[in-house]
């Protein structure tokens, strides 16, 4: 049986299946789906738990032994197989054998990395497990899906976020679900219940280095050159990695370059900003930046970002913090490289 991640809760309410296979490359989702299965197994009296960590060279006889050995006290048990490596021929046989004769009073929870189409379509061990069990393939939460994921998770914690608050948090944690979950937990502790707006999120993360990195970007877009220089010095003193700053600046410049190119082709600015998920409170800032720099200059900035990254990674000559300062000042509207006539 194939299930989507969001269907697991209603499935577990009806009882526990003998086998669960969870695959994917998103650790947070795999952990939480596994936690839900563990909680259900405990509620059904599965008081014993065994864990097998499958790495290269793993002896699959351990799975056979677990399947054949009855609990000393005849207790129900949850058997976890955590595959960090492919099962190989011996593992494939062991898993197929297990599915053919699953032990009584035992539930199997197998977690592994994302499975390719050949495995899910042809591998006999996978087909054998899926035939009598439940398979959940976890897909990454993409840029478009992230706001909805954040909103659902915040509401589940009793919070009522505004659309701008959701967009702001999504912008800050894109590509890192664990960071998103941690920020939501922090908000839930600070605001037991009620409405969450942009100010609530800004206040909650105001002291974190990550937020200050994005604050640097916004100050540059606002043309606050002196403030940018001070912030950059502060971030350096706090030990923030240059690569993180370069990533944040490059990410913003790349997005703005794309928007500037679309507008130069005749597309309406408000439609371009909406399509790029610019939240309402940030639209004046982005509009200001786009109006005051033609598309060719955005491409020049993007090339400057690439040069700065090469310097930081040691692939080009230069000092990382000097390059970051020049890039930030250029984004703010100054050109520190220009010479007066």
Please tell me the predicted confidence (pLDDT) of residue 206: 46
197 contacts: CB under 8 Å, gap ≥ 6:
161, 162, 164, 165
Contact 341, 263 (CB under 8 A): no
Please tell me the predicted confidence (pLDDT) of residue 70: 63
Nearest CA-CA partner of 331 in 254, 243, 273: 254
Please tell me the predicted confidence (pLDDT) of residue 321: 95
Structure-token match 């099962």, residue found: 87
> Would you mind telling me the total number of residues written for the chain in this entry?
341
What is the rounded CA–CA span in Å between residue 132 and residue 18?
7
Please tell me the predicted confidence (pLDDT) of residue 253: 95
Q: What is the pLDDT of residues 53-80, one digit of tens each?
A: 998 889 999 998 888 876 555 578 899 9
What is the rounded CA–CA span in Å between residue 256 and residue 261?
8
CB atoms within 10 A of CB 118: 9
Please tell me the predicted confidence (pLDDT) of residue 189: 83
Contact 256, 287 (CB under 8 A): no
Rg (alpha carbons) of the chain, rounded to whole number: 26
Nearest CA-CA partner of 211 in 222, 198, 196: 198
Which tokens hold the place of 211?
């937020």
Question: Which three-class secondary structure state does DSSP give residue 23?
Answer: strand
Q: What domains appear along the chain, each with residue ranges and CATH number?
A: 2-138 (3.40.50.300), 146-204 (1.10.8.60), 215-332 (1.20.272.10)
Evaluated on CA atoms 69, 75, 81, 82, the torsion sign reads negative
Nearest CA-CA partner of 63 in 43, 79, 85: 79
Q: What is the pLDDT of residues 76-128, one digit of tens each?
A: 889 999 998 788 899 999 999 999 999 888 999 999 988 877 777 688 999 99
Question: Mutual orientation of helices 283-291 and 242-264 as an angle, nearest 10°?
Answer: 70
Nearest 10 degrees: CA dihedral of 214, 218, 221, 226? -100
Structure-token match 């990195």, residue found: 213
Q: Which residues in the chain come in under a pLDDT of 70?
A: 70-74, 121, 174-175, 205-212, 336-341
């Amino acid at each position: 049986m194939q299930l989507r991640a969001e269907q697991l809760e209603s499935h577990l309410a009806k009882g526990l299946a003998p086998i669960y296979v969870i695959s994917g490359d998103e650790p947070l989702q795999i952990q939480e789906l596994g936690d839900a299965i563990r909680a259900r197994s405990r509620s059904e009296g599965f008081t014993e738990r065994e864990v097998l960590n499958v790495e290269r060279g793993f002896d699959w006889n351990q799975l056979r032994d677990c399947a054949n050995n009855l609990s000393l006290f005849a207790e129900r048990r949850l058997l976890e197989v955590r595959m960090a490596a492919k099962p190989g021929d011996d593992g494939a046989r062991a898993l197929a054998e297990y599915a053919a004769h699953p032990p009584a009073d035992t539930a199997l929870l197998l977690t592994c990395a994302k499975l390719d189409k050949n495995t899910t379509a042809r591998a006999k061990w996978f087909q054998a497990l899926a035939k009598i069990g439940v398979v959940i393939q976890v897909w990454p939460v993409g840029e478009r899906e992230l706001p909805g994921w954040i909103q659902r998770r915040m509401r589940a914690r009793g919070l009522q976020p505004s659309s701008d608050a959701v967009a702001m948090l999504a912008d800050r944690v894109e590509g890192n679900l664990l960071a998103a979950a941690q920020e939501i937990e922090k908000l839930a502790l600070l605001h037991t219940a009620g409405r969450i707006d942009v100010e609530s999120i800004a206040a909650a993360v105001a002291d974190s280095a990550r937020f200050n990195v994005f604050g640097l970007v916004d100050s540059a877009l606002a043309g606050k050159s002196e403030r940018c220089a001070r912030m950059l010095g502060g971030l350096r003193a706090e030990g923030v990695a240059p690569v993180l700053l370069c990533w944040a600046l490059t990410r913003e410049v790349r997005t703005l370059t794309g928007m500037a190119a679309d507008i130069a082709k005749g597309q309406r600015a408000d439609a371009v900003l909406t399509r790029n998920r610019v939240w309402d409170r940030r639209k004046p800032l982005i509009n200001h930046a786009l109006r005051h720099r033609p598309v060719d200059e955005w491409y020049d900035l993007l090339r400057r970002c690439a040069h700065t990254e090469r310097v930081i990674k040691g692939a080009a000559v230069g000092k990382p913090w000097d390059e970051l300062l020049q890039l930030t000042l250029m984004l703010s509207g100054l050109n520190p490289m220009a010479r007066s006539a």
